[in-house]
């Protein structure tokens, strides 16, 4: 598979499947995966986003979730020689059972019960509790109390992106520079709030770490499927890690609420049916969402990857006032 074009090399795919002793009669590319047709149903071949030494964590997590009754947890398949996957010059590949369903990013989310979405994340966290991987935790999967440092790093990068924009001459540069002062100010305010409440943050992280919760860390519409039986399932555990649950909750609200407070209420109501949230946890969720993360992403895309997205930047700037109102309302939700 070519990482840039996301095109599968037929010879490489066939060689990988041979290591599993799989009889197949066809395949098709679906997103970043290969949907493989076999006499016993479809399988999913995927390149792991990280090194092979981190896949043990993901594999062990899936087993732990299954043991704790999590519905439709990923089911990985071992190679014929008993390995977790296949390592090639193009990366580490794994095979799992294909899960049928329509990706939520392709569905009008108004037709989906957002309470069910929130409940699914709550079920994932409950089932992950007590996870103690037999192979140990890779350092990259141990992210407890990492948010303050991450945000400080991103704040420095925001300064870099701003300077690049101010020196640039393109329409994107000019538009990015216009919104930079506000983004930098919002970032400073969030960092100051976290510093002021660092003890509270550390206590919340410590409690989640003691319970050994695991976050999915990519709980977004593209990774949720609505099955033919109208059940919601979550796939792709590649980014899972030990980190405080508010990380997942903030991302869920960001990606599913579309800045509508009633949608956020539904998501939170579903989650709290499984795991109640403390006021301090909600404060952290709002604080995370107040950081100009999307502005940072747009800057990284333009000034690190050379792919400026002026339409995305324009949309972001146009919704700033709506976002502010949404966050003000979210602070009142309990």
pLDDT in tens, 169-188: 999 999 999 999 999 999 99
CA-closest candidate to residue 296, choices 121, 88, 191, 151: 151
What confidence score (pLDDT) does residue 311 get?
Answer: 98
What confidence score (pLDDT) does residue 6 get?
Answer: 58
Token code pair at residue 132: 């103690």
What confidence score (pLDDT) does residue 2 get?
Answer: 46
Tens-digit pLDDT profile for residues 126-137: 999 999 998 888
Query: Where in the chain are the domains?
Result: 10-98, 106-330
What confidence score (pLDDT) does residue 113 get?
Answer: 87
Tell me how far the alpha carbon of residue 40 is from its chain's centroid: 31
Q: Higher pLDDT residue, 77 or 135?
A: 77
Length, in residues, of the chain: 334
105-109, 137-141, 182-186: which has the minimum mean pLDDT?
105-109
Residue 314, SS3 per DSSP:
helix
Residue 262, SS3 per DSSP:
helix
C-alpha neighbours within 13 Å on the C-beta side of residue 44: 17
333 φ/ψ sector (left φ>0, alpha ψ -120 to 50, else beta):
beta
Query: Is pLDDT at 109 greater than 80 in this prediction?
Result: no
Query: What number of H helices and E strands is found in the chain?
Result: 12, 9
Query: Is pLDDT at 158 greater than 50 in this prediction?
Result: yes
The confidence band for 333, taking pLDDT boundaries of 50, 70 and 90, is: confident
Residue recorded with tokens 């333009």: 302
What confidence score (pLDDT) does residue 71 get?
Answer: 85
**Rounded average pLDDT over 299-308:** 98
Give the DSSP letter string of 116-162: HHHHHHHHHHHHHTT---TT---GGGB-TT-HHHHHHHHHHHHHHHH
CA-closest candidate to residue 3, choices 78, 88, 74: 88
Does the fold of domain 106-330 match that of domain 10-98?
no
> In DSSP terms, which residues pair with 224 in a beta bridge?
234
What confidence score (pLDDT) does residue 106 get?
Answer: 80
Residue 108, SS3 per DSSP:
coil
- Beta 102-103 vs 26-30: how paired, if at all? unpaired
Tens-digit pLDDT profile for residues 236-288: 999 999 999 999 999 999 999 999 999 999 999 999 999 999 999 999 999 99
Query: Is pLDDT at 111 greater than 60 in this prediction?
Result: no
The confidence band for 54, taking pLDDT boundaries of 50, 70 and 90, is: very high
The fold of the 106-330 domain, in CATH, is: Aminoglycoside 3'-phosphotransferase; Chain: A, domain 2 (3.90.1200)
Query: Is pLDDT at 189 greater than 70 in this prediction?
Result: yes
CATH code of the domain occupying 10-98: 3.30.200.20
**Rounded average pLDDT over 320-333:** 95
Helices 261-272 and 320-330: angle between axes, nearest 10 degrees: 40
Residue 46, SS3 per DSSP:
strand
Residue 86, SS3 per DSSP:
strand
Residue 101, SS3 per DSSP:
coil
């Amino acid at each position: 598979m070519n990482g840039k074009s996301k095109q599968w090399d037929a010879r490489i795919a066939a060689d990988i499947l041979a290591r599993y002793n799989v009889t197949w009669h066809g395949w098709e590319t679906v997103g970043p995966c290969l949907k493989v047709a076999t006499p016993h149903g479809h399988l999913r071949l995927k390149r792991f986003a990280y090194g092979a030494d981190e896949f043990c964590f993901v594999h062990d997590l899936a087993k732990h979730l299954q043991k704790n009754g999590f519905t439709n947890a990923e089911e990985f398949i071992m190679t014929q020689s008993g390995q977790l996957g296949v390592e090639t010059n193009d990366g580490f590949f794994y095979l799992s059972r294909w899960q049928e369903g329509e990706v939520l990013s392709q569905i009008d989310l108004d037709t989906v019960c957002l309470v069910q979405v929130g409940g699914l994340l709550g079920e994932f966290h409950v089932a992950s509790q007590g996870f103690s991987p037999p192979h140990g935790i890779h350092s990259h999967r141990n992210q407890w109390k990492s948010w303050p440092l991450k945000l400080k790093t991103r704040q420095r990068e925001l300064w870099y992106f701003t300077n690049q924009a101010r020196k640039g001459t393109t329409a994107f540069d000019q538009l990015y520079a216009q919104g930079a002062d506000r983004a930098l100010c919002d970032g400073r305010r969030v960092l100051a709030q976290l510093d002021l409440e660092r003890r509270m943050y550390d206590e919340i992280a410590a409690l989640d770490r003691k319970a050994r919760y695991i976050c999915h860390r990519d709980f977004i519409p593209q990774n949720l499927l609505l099955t033919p039986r109208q059940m919601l399932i979550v796939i792709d555990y590649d980014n899972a890690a030990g980190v405080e649950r508010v990380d997942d909750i903030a991302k869920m609200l960001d990606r599913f609420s579309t800045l509508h407070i009633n949608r956020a209420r539904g998501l939170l109501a579903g989650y709290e049916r499984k795991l109640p949230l403390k006021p301090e946890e909600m404060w952290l969720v709002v604080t995370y969402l107040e950081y100009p993360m999307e502005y940072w992403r747009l800057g990284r895309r333009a000034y690190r990857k050379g792919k400026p997205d002026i339409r995305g930047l324009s949309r972001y700037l146009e919704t700033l006032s709506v976002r502010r109102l949404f966050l003000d309302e979210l602070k009142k939700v309990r």
